[in-house]
Structure 1
Amino acid sequence: MKKTLSLFTTLGLGIASLHAQEHAQTDSIPAKRSSLLLSEPARAKSFQLDVLLRAGLQTDNGDGSSQAKANLDDARILMSGDYNDRLSYKVRFRLNRSFAPTSQDNGSRALDMALIKYKFGKDLKWSVTAGKQSAMVGSYEFENNPIYEYKFTDYVDRILNLFVVGGMISYEVNPNHSLHAQVYNTTNDSFMDLHAKNGFAVGDLERSNVPMGAYFTWVGAFMNKQINTKWSYNISQFAKGHTNHSISLANKFKTSRQMVYLDLQYSYLGVDHAMIASSAINEFYGRTGDQRVLAKDVNYGSAILRYDQFLTRKWEIALKGGYEIAGARNEDQLGRNFRQNWTYFAALQHKPFHNQDLRFYLGYVGNTVNYKDAMNMAKSQYNRLAFGAYFTIPVL
């Protein structure tokens, strides 16, 4: 593990690459503005400023009782530009997250990305990028514009380290296929801080000498780019002697009137730094204080399906469902599938302007968490009704 990560650390620290496709998550909105603003005049390439916003009225039972409120779901600022055909940059902030620096990478929860990209080689098919960037994981749920996703699954929201400091090198095989290798810090917080902030004791675990990971990703397109794939394998370490592995297979079909994506993933965590399974295991066994430790040999699996369809020129529906499991190999009483998580939403959306990324919506969002009968743990049910709007605003 050390040799593998050391090799890619040497290759990649301080360099990274953006996703080869123009609509990648690092953009969060399409890079070609003609797809958003068809009638907009050409904008200066050296600096572009966009605001991503979703807000509305909602009623939910998030605090255990029904409550109605006005809520700012998401607010982000994206600054980007191209100095020339080789060098570009991106910086994006989440305004409703903490700006306090994280202990492992000296970034912050509010900072999604701060990177520069450099293209080189024949026909500029190679590229490297330095800075904080989105993980090159096979997930169209993550790659989608974040304001489009009314609720993320556990895989994107809690298991993945989404925005990482590290490096990636990419090669564009042809206009439809590209290969990527990315190295990054496994977590944004240090080994000790992650334990302390979340109420876990270190126990017999030791910090990894190389607490880093690597993604190896293929991005493909077929049938005039109507079918897209983003498949990744990941290897990483959080604790010494415990290696993580995961496979993520993202698949998407898109036309001018509809979009469907299916994300499939399986993750094995040598030590459960995602903490979902660990929290349930410690509660089941009644562990507190120094007994409350991160579980070992944990597995997570998920299948996530989303379908968007324009009913007319201005009206569309958005449907999403996700099924996720969590388990542990060394917990005999619990097994590999002791927790099931269902995430789902349905929304009717109105897009008043063809050339603006503005939508009004009326939707229902739900989440159900079940546990194996032997655990005797209460079922968790979340419901939300919401009416609001989201807008990718091209400020400059």
Structure 2
Amino acid sequence: MKKFRFHLFLLPCMVLTTIVKAQRQRDTMLTQPLIPITKQQLLSNVDIIANMRYAFRSEFNEGAYTGSRFNMEQFRLEFRGKVLDKLYFRFRDRYTRDPTTQTVDNLSRSTDLAYLRFDPDEHWKIYAGKLCADWGGFEFDANPIEIYEYSDIVEYADNFLSGAGVGYVTNNKQEFTFQLLNSRTATFGELYDSVPGLRPSKFPFAAVGNWRGELFDGKVSTIWSYSIFKEAHNTYMNYIALGTQLKLKNFQLQYDFKWSDEQLDRKTIVSDIIKPLGIQAATDAKYISHWMRADVRVAPIVNLFFVGMVDFANWDDNPDPSVDSRLRTAWGYMPGVEVFPFKKYNLKIYGIMVGRKYVYSDYAKNTLGASNTDNYRISVGIISPILVL
């Protein structure tokens, strides 16, 4: 009887002990990391960045208010990091562009970057995949979320192309790069359908050379480039971009000059203007761009800036030789303010006025039916390349 009573007393203790052990096992299971500890070291070499610009914008056309809306102006998710010693990767996809697979490189139109880079030593780098064409100019070199409105010559360019490149950095911080790329992501027929007298090239390539310079103890920087694109058989595009920056303590000035001579109109601005003539794709189009940005840091968290630009679109193959080759002049002006509320986070709040004015030549207006336009928008928003990991 005493033994029965003892076991009866011991039973609750055994049950309680079993419950406690089971609870501890559950707690242990719940606190196990989703990513095994053996894999966590790899993540220390990886960055995940959400590049975004979000704004409330009010729009005006010819001085008349047309409406307001919230708008995700830019959202690009980026993964980059180190795979092995000296081997790196980078991938960036744009969620504000239609993900249409392109016929030439078999990649989505929304994919900006998808490449591997190998650094044999501190001077050399070799990379291949879908790249950003290493054109010159500070406007093009900036993170896209920082550019409130692109100049025409950049806005209409096909600048994310598949290929390979090599770069060399000297001891005095001069960097030289060379790239060999596909000249486009779509086929000749998709872009131009057919152009009388021209036939597609078997290898439509782009060759890009770039110099990034540091002068006068870093006060002056350069991003200069020359590119040649083969658009069709014996048909080329030559592009020069010269970007120069002056950087002082609380003041920064950037100026870009861009010039594109296109035997077959790649930007399509001239082609769109002359469509009433029944010409599908213009030949001998030329584009010239001047872009400038000035920044003044008036306080540690406040930056005042102004962006000004002008683009010229010329058609040198007009059958009427008495007509001026210039068809359109596009003006842009952007005064604004940026506020950096956090010291440790790269986030800023901005307010800006983005104005665009398009002025057509008398020939374009009288013969081709073009008309001048003047519009602007006022935006308030946030910009942040958020480091997720």
Is the shorter-chain TM-score for this pair beyond 0.5, marking a shared fold? yes
In structure 2, distance between residues paired with 1:43 and 1:256: 38
From 183, 186, 196, the equivalent of 2:183 is 186
Q: Compute the displacement of 1:333 (Å).
A: 5.0
Question: Does 2:130 align with 1:132?
Answer: yes
Computed over aligned residues only, the root mean square deviation of the Cα atoms, in angstroms, reads: 2.0
From 253, 256, 265, the equivalent of 1:260 is 253
Q: TM-score, normalised by structure 2?
A: 0.83
Question: Does 2:93 align with 1:93?
Answer: yes
SS at match of 2:326: coil
In structure 2, distance between residues paired with 1:45 and 1:222: 35
In structure 1, distance between residues paired with 2:44 and 2:172: 22
Distance 1:110 1:255, change over 3 A: farther
Question: Does 2:359 align with 1:370?
Answer: yes
Q: Which moved more, 1:135-144 or 1:81-90?
A: 81-90
Question: Does 2:235 align with 1:237?
Answer: no
Question: Does 2:282 align with 1:295?
Answer: yes
From 206, 210, 218, the equivalent of 1:225 is 218
Q: Is the 8 A contact 1:87 1:119 kept in 2?
A: yes
> Could you report, residue by residue, the CA deviation over 1:17-69 in whole angstroms, capped at 9, with x for unpaired residues?
xxxxxxxxxxxxxxxxxxxxxxxxx9954211011111111111479971111
1:209 alignment counterpart: 202
SS at match of 1:210: coil
SS at match of 1:366: strand
Distance 1:210 1:354, change over 3 A: same
Q: Compute the displacement of 1:83 (Å).
A: 3.0
Q: Is the 8 A contact 2:61 2:374 kept in 1?
A: no
1:143 alignment counterpart: 141
In structure 2, distance between residues paired with 1:93 and 1:350: 27
SS at match of 1:151: coil
Mind listing any 5+ residue stretches in structure 1 that lack a counterpart? 1-41
Counting only pairs closer than 5 Å after superposition, residues 1-396 of structure 1 correspond to structure 2 as 45-61=44-60, 66-120=66-120, 123-158=121-156, 160-195=157-192, 201-255=194-248, 257-282=250-275, 286-287=276-277, 291-331=278-318, 332=321, 334-376=323-365, 377-396=370-389
> Could you report, residue by residue, the CA deviation over 1:164-211 in whole angstroms, capped at 9, with x for unpaired residues?
111111111224112111111111111111135xxxx53332112221
Mind listing any 5+ residue stretches in structure 2 that lack a counterpart? 1-40
1:31 alignment counterpart: none
SS at match of 1:83: strand
Q: TM-score, normalised by structure 1?
A: 0.82
Identical counterparts, % of pairs: 25
Q: Is the 8 A contact 2:264 2:281 kept in 1?
A: yes
Q: Is the 8 A contact 2:200 2:232 kept in 1?
A: yes
In structure 2, distance between residues paired with 1:272 and 1:45: 46
How many residues of Structure 1 are paired with residues of Structure 2 in the alignment? 342
